[in-house]
Amino acid sequence: MFNQKDISIVLSGEAGQGIQTVERLLLRLFKLSGLHVFSYSEFMSRIRGGNNSTEIRVSSERVNSFCERIDVFVSLHEGAMERHYDRISHKTVIIGDPAHIDSRFRDGNHTLIEIPLRDTAKLVGGPIFTNIIIVGIIASAFHLDMAFVRDKLKSFFTKATDDILSKNITAAEKGFSMGNDLFPARRIDLKLSMSDQAKGELLLNGADAIGMGGIAGGCNFVSSYPMSPSTEVLVFFAKHAEKFGIIVEQAEDEICSAGISW
């Protein structure tokens, strides 16, 4: 079904639902499995509600850009498909709880993988675990090793209590086993060839790259008025300020931040 070298996954959920956690986790799982990744997020200026989405391109070769095409669409709330309507084609594999699939796609021309995500999450411990069920489903579709996923979950959720960690692992296992049942039955196989080279690559986001470049260039004074997407750069510098001898100051307004970095 997928004969291209890269697969584009879009996760679409509500702000505050934890899509960024899924994104970070999936990127790490793919990269450490030996696949190249590129991701791009879109978020509304909202703390909760609204629609946030992230596109992850996974490939056997290096990927350097966003793409319009969506190969796998994960719908995580009612209305999650609306903003991406034009990008979803009859070739897109649509994954989601039946309640989160837009009826316009039930026309027989689209590939729907309907999963009782909400009920399964409830069984595990609550709607918050939906995200990790999705991680399990995607890991299965890409033929990742479940023992490897389990291991990486442990190193990813270092601050979680034992109870939360074990529920996250259960959620991933449930997703993985649902994926193992559903994808072969629908003849969907997203296996990509993996390489040791990708495993050893740096996994960087734009803010990390800017921050590291800044340090390398001798930056020792940072001031900023927070707003996405630059906040991440400010956060990077604040985190590493003491270690690298950098003064970091949140300015009272943007003009101050320009003036104070004289």
Partner 1 sequence: MVSGIGQAAKTPHYINTSFFDGLHGRSLPAAIAIKASNPELTVIVESGDGCTYGEGGNHFINAIRRNADITTIVHDNMVYGLTKGQASPTSRRGFTTPVQVAGVNLEPFNPIAVAVALNASFVARAFAGDIEKTKEIIKSAITHKGYALIDVFQQCVSFNRLNTFKWYRDHSYYLDASYDPHDREEAFKKAVESEKFPLGIIYINNKNPTFEENLAVYKDNREPLFKRSVDYRKLEQLMEDKRA
Binding to partner 1, residues 25-44 (CB under 8 A): 32
SS3 30: helix
State how far the Cα of 1 lies from the Cα of 225, in Å rounded to an integer.
Answer: 47
Selected binder of partner 1 within 78, 114, 208, 232 (CB under 8 A): 208
Nearer to partner 1 among residue 13 and residue 211 (C-beta): 211
- Among 42, 78, 114, 201, the residue binding partner 1 under the rule CB under 8 A is 201
List for the chain the helix, strand, coil content (%; round to 5): 45, 20, 35
Among 67, 203, 231, 232, binds partner 1 (CB under 8 A): 203
Q: For the CA atoms of the chain, what is the radius of gyration?
A: 20
**Where in 212-251 is the site for partner 1 (CB under 8 A)?**
212, 215-216, 218, 220-221, 223, 240-247, 249, 251
Report if residue 114 touches partner 1, rule: CB under 8 A. Answer: no
Contact characters 152-191, partner 1, x per CB under 8 A: ----------------------------------------
Strand 111-114 relative to strand 93-96, pairing: parallel
Calculate the alpha carbon distances from 40 to 15, 32, 53, 227, 262 in Å: 15, 19, 9, 17, 32
Q: How many CB atoms lie within 10 A of CB 105?
A: 20
* Paired tokens of 90: 């009859």
Binding positions for partner 1, rule: CB under 8 A: 32, 200-204, 208, 212, 215-216, 218, 220-221, 223, 240-247, 249, 251-253, 255-257, 259-262
